[in-house]
Amino acid sequence: MSNQTWKVDKAHSEAGFTISHLGIAEMSGFFKDFDIKIETQTEDFRDAAFEATILTDSLDTRIHDRDHHLKAADFFNVEQFPNAMIISREIINNGHGIYAVQADVTIKDKTKMIAMELFYHGKAENPMSKKTTAGFSLSATINRKDFGIGPEIPNLLLSDLVTIQFNGEFIL
């Protein structure tokens, strides 16, 4: 099989995060603009490499004032750091569509190797576009302070741990 590049179908994909507030509720948000591509030479994606670019200014929590604060220097600092990146370094097929992924995650000016879980939902031909489509979910838990995200906000107010999640369809 030759090298295949799968591109994200943005109409059927999302990039988001969830964080605990006051230790009693989960708050979520998403990024409206991102790009993800997957390269593979195998049908089961066991040799896949993926790269995601997230435009930090596209952050949306549905609360304008909160979005403005999260885009400021003490959180994402979107003016200085317009992109966050995830680049896979190793992928291990654990069977049944579950993969362990080691990826470099870059937010602001910090890059950390993060363990992620990838679930491959399978492939189907989209009856509308007639294109082969593959579905994936990718998730991980990161420590926001490792990336300088709200470093002065205490853990009692806003959890240090943030779950990041990507769900999407990819077109060959």
**Residue 118 Ramachandran class (φ > 0 left, ψ -120 to 50 alpha, else beta):** beta
**Rounded average pLDDT over 66-78:** 96
Write down the residue that tokens 């591109």 correspond to.
Answer: 7
pLDDT in tens, 110-141: 999 999 999 999 999 989 889 999 999 999 99
Q: Is 143 helix (H, G, I), strand (E, B) or coil?
A: strand
3-state helix, strand, coil in the chain (%, to 5): 10, 60, 30
Asked if pLDDT for residue 1 goes beyond 70, the answer is no
| Domains recognised in the chain with CATH numbers | 4-171 (2.40.128.110)
Let me know: does 104 contact 112? Beta carbons within 8 Å.
yes
Model confidence band, residue 2 (pLDDT cutoffs 50, 70, 90):
confident
